[in-house]
Structures are given as structure tokens and as C-alpha cells.
Chain A
Amino acid sequence: DGGITQSPKYLFRKEGQNVTLSCEQNLNHDAMYWYRQDPGQGLRLIYYSQIVNDFQKGDIAEGYSVSREKKESFPLTVTSAQKNPTAFYLCASSNSARRDTQYFGPGTRLTVL
């Protein structure tokens, strides 16, 4: 929403394959986040980045990896080590990590067959 794009909207992969989800923002925000949402559940933080070239693990980082080489981009790789990767993945950004509201992208629904 408001300058955050995620692609694709739907993604299907075979078990055992790594897959990278894209997240781009043009809001000039410093902080970016990846969340996972399972049906009927809340948002669980996977990774977050407060500044370029820096990121921290969230609550469920195992089986995922990220990079933050550019301010506007924060791709998430779902590796084959992630035991249950089928979920709705949401990317968000905020001006800073300390106080500001988060703006979410439209999400990517990943299905692993």
C-alpha cells in the first residue's frame, strides 16, 4: 500500500526448491520487515532491517534468509530448510524502527506443492 510492491501475488513451488519473494518500496523508508501470516492467525516477524546492509532475525527466522543491499529493496528467500513454507508473506516498511507506523505491501501467497 502506498509505494510498497510485492511480486508475484501468487507463487507456486515444488517442495525442496528455494524461492525468493520480492519487496520494493519508494517511500524512502529506512526500516523494512517481513512477516508471515497463516490462515486465521496474526503476523509473525521473520526478519527486519533498520538500515541498509543490516538486518536482524525476528521470531521465526529459521529456514529464511534476507539481504538489504539497497534502501528500497528487501528480498526474502524461503529455503528448502523451511519445514512449512506455505503461507501469506507480507512485507512492510517504516520511516524508522523505533516509533513509526508500518506500511504493508499487498502480500505474496506462497504455496509449496
Chain B
Amino acid sequence: GQQVMQIPQYQHVQEGEDFTTYCNSSTTLSNIQWYKQRPGGHPVFLIQLVKSGEVKKQKRLTFQFGEAKKNSSLHITATQTTDVGTYFCAPREEYGNKLVFGAGTILRVKS
């Protein structure tokens, strides 16, 4: 079955520093979604990437989908305390009908 690895597991940054989390799949993907879960909350959808090599931006967040459609990254520029939470990637296999969530990257921001 599909294996999903998300790294790092945990990152603690100073406010203003950048942050990146990576998601790698053992199989080719149909698409990949990213979610954010604030402490004590529930996951909230951020974005979906579908095309090979796709790059999408949401303000300070940049999402990339690899050329081979097996990996993805989320980069946050100049982190703020509001960015605190766990970021999950959720890839979908090429012929699959369900998402498989990565273990998530916990982001803590020191002000």
C-alpha cells in the first residue's frame, strides 16, 4: 500500500524565520492536499495540488508538487505566531479513492 513520509516531525522557529515541511510518497499521486490543525482544533483544508510541478501561493505560504508527482512541500516565509499548528499532507494515489494523511509536522513559533 501507499507509504507517506512527512518531515520534519517537529520544528520550533523564531518568529520571522522561514519554515518548510516535506511530504514524500512511495507511489505516484493523483493529487495532494494540505491541511492545518491548530492546537486543540480540527484539520482545515489549505490547498490541493494536481499538476506535475505545480506551485501555488497563499500569502506567505508556498506549496509545490514535484515533477514526478511523488512529493510535495509547504514553505512558510517569515513565520508568525498565528502559523502555530500541525501541518498535514494528504496525498491521493493515482487510482485511489481515499486520502492518506501524513503524520504531520508540528510547528511552534517563538515570539
* Majority secondary structure of chain A interface residues (helix, strand, loop or mixed): loop
* Majority secondary structure of chain B interface residues (helix, strand, loop or mixed): strand
Verify if B31 is at the interface (C-beta below 8 Å from A).
yes
| Contact residues, A7-57 vs B (CB, 8 A) | 33, 35, 40-45, 48, 50
Number of interface residues of B (CB under 8 A): 23
Q: How far is the CA of A67 from the CA of B30 in the complex (A)?
A: 29
- Interface band, chain A: 20 to 34
Verify if A64 is at the interface (C-beta below 8 Å from B).
no
Verify if A74 is at the interface (C-beta below 8 Å from B).
no
State whether A101 and B45 are in contact (beta carbons under 8 Å apart), knowing that A42-B88, A42-B101, A42-B103 are contacts in the complex. yes
State whether A90 and B42 are in contact (beta carbons under 8 Å apart), knowing that A48-B98, A101-B48 are contacts in the complex. yes
- B residues near A, CB below 8 A? 6, 30-31, 33, 35, 41-45, 48, 88, 90, 92, 97-104, 106
